[in-house]
Homo-oligomer: A and B are copies of this chain.
Amino acid sequence: MKKIGIIGLGVVGEGTLSSLLKYRSLIKKRTALSFQVKTVCDINAGRKKLVPYSKIAFTTKAEDIINDPEIDVVVELIGGIQPAKKFIIAALQKGKDVVTANKALLAREGKEIFARARDLGCNIGFEASVCGAIPLIKSISQGLVGCEVKCLHGILNGTTNYILSKMHKDGLTFSQALKEAQQKGYAEMKPDLDIAGKDTLHKLCILSYLSFGFWPDPDKLYTEGISRITPLDIAYTEEFSYRIKLLAIARKKGSSLSLRVHPTLIKADHPLAEVSSAFNGVWMDTYPAGELLFYGEGAGGVPTSSAIISDIVNVSLKAKMPLIKEEKLELGEISDLKTRFYIRFMALDRPGVLAEISRILSRHKVSIASVAQKERNKGKLVPIVMLTHETREEDLRKALAKIDDLEMIKGPSQSIRIEDI
């Protein structure tokens, strides 16, 4: 009988507790393992009411779980850096296996935490830290153990995907879509971590470790959120048969690795473009397995509990942790990135505007693949939209700065990177 302690009874904690109680006998039938949730901890004493049986102890002190010699597996679901890290290290030191959904912590301290776990002979399950219910971590570390990942494109955050899908489907502005996401519980009241791409970034760091054996410094990776996307951009990208998604992108070429998070145009008929609403999806190009897509619920207490349960089983079976040797790779700079761009200017509808913009772009070696300038609105502002050929990021930035300085251009230009996957 494996005894479990759960620290943190928020949305995921509550979902995990209820799924564990519901599926105890199913899990026993499938794995011959018996589980018992012994103690549940939350700093908020009022959450005691979420514990359905009096046999399960409730405490507000994590130490009651960490120091309990009867508890085999500690499930950390409080999130954030501290005290989560302290709790996890303490549990490992007591010889307990740990299951965590804490992406922010692993992105920053994963290297140290995994090393400590290995030294102490304990296991860490972290399936729930990336893409909630999708068994992605196990798929990469076990199912694709003999594969090289060439590139990975991930929709890793349900909140931003919900907002972009709403903007696309219903023509809402960013603020309107955010408000609706908050009303429906898809976005938090303080949604900054999601909106600014930080949550996606944390997950990308974990995937970089799994796929390439490389722990990046999250603060050094280019990260751009979705708040600058307008209904106009959504409409134009649709016209060009593209869809805007907030993507985590990883590309390896030899010993050089590009890791970045930003809104991205992908072809509307690409399977990743169909990952809508709050769903997550990860597109991988690998060798020898080829192209793969994993799609499913990225968040929510009940779906995520599936990942946590599979980790509890896995660590209890003492399945070997993925032993990922660290690689020395060189991180590419965003200024050196070569990619195609969607660019948009708001210009006064005057003769010579397009010629002037084209001249500046050409002088900066930015070559144009297509242009859309439909509306005629003499003397007023009209959008000019272009898709470029492959361009060095730095060249484009310089060109856009020059264009933004033109008297006939109003407001800052828009630019969104395109990925041809």
A residues at B contact (CB < 8 Å): 15, 19-20, 23, 26-27, 29-32, 127, 133-135, 138-139, 142-148, 269, 271, 274-275, 279, 281, 286-297, 300, 302-303, 305-307, 309-310, 313-314, 317, 319-320, 322-325
Q: A296 contacts B297, CB within 8 Å?
A: no
- Report the 8 A-B pairs with minimum CB-CB distance, sorted nearest first: A135-B143, A146-B309, A289-B306, A293-B295, A133-B289, A290-B297, A292-B296, A290-B303
Find A134's partner among B27, B292, B303, B319 (CB 8 Å cutoff). Answer: B292
Find A271's partner among B269, B275, B324 (CB 8 Å cutoff). Answer: B275
Q: B313 contacts A288, CB within 8 Å?
A: no
Q: A296 contacts B288, CB within 8 Å?
A: no
Q: Measured between alpha carbons, how far is A32 from B321 in the docked complex, in Å? A: 12
Closest chain B residue to A142, Cβ basis: B138
Q: Can you pick out 13 interface pairs between chain A and chain B where the beta carbons lie within 8 Å of each other? A: A19-B146, A27-B145, A30-B323, A31-B145, A32-B323, A135-B138, A135-B143, A138-B138, A281-B293, A286-B306, A288-B302, A292-B295, A317-B320
Q: Measured between alpha carbons, how far is A300 from B290 in the docked complex, in Å? A: 10
Which residues of B have CB within 8 Å of A325? 29-30
| A181: min CB distance to chain B, Å | 18
Find A310's partner among B144, B279, B293, B319 (CB 8 Å cutoff). Answer: B144
Contacts A19-B146, A142-B142, A146-B23 given; indicate if A288 touches B275 (C-beta within 8 A). Answer: no
Q: B306 contacts A296, CB within 8 Å?
A: no
Closest chain B residue to A279, Cβ basis: B291
Q: Measured between alpha carbons, how far is A287 from B154 in the docked complex, in Å? A: 24
Q: A143 contacts B138, CB within 8 Å?
A: yes
Q: B310 contacts A143, CB within 8 Å?
A: yes
Q: B147 contacts A306, CB within 8 Å?
A: yes
Query: Which secondary structure dominates chain A's binding surface?
Result: mixed
| A305: min CB distance to chain B, Å | 5
Contacts A291-B297, A293-B296, A295-B292 given; indicate if A26 touches B146 (C-beta within 8 A). Answer: yes
Q: Measured between alpha carbons, how far is A279 from B293 in the docked complex, in Å? A: 11
| A340: min CB distance to chain B, Å | 23
| A19: min CB distance to chain B, Å | 5
Q: Measured between alpha carbons, how far is A302 from B147 in the docked complex, in Å? A: 11
Closest chain B residue to A147, Cβ basis: B306
Which residues of B have CB within 8 Å of A31? 145, 320, 323
Which residues of B have CB within 8 Å of A305? 146, 288
Which residues of B have CB within 8 Å of A322? 30
Which residues of B have CB within 8 Å of A300? 290
Closest chain B residue to A287, Cβ basis: B302
Closest chain B residue to A305, Cβ basis: B288
| A331: min CB distance to chain B, Å | 21
Closest chain B residue to A133, Cβ basis: B289
Which residues of B have CB within 8 Å of A310? 142-146
Closest chain B residue to A309, Cβ basis: B146
Which residues of B have CB within 8 Å of A127? 143
Which residues of B have CB within 8 Å of A320? 31, 317, 319
Q: B271 contacts A289, CB within 8 Å?
A: no
Q: B135 contacts A142, CB within 8 Å?
A: yes
| A113: min CB distance to chain B, Å | 19
Q: B289 contacts A297, CB within 8 Å?
A: yes
Q: A15 contacts B135, CB within 8 Å?
A: no
Q: A26 contacts B142, CB within 8 Å?
A: no
Q: A30-B322, A138-B142, A294-B294 are in contact. List 12 more A-B contacts (CB 8 A).
A: A23-B147, A32-B323, A138-B139, A139-B143, A142-B142, A143-B307, A144-B306, A146-B309, A269-B274, A287-B302, A290-B306, A317-B320
Q: B306 contacts A146, CB within 8 Å?
A: yes
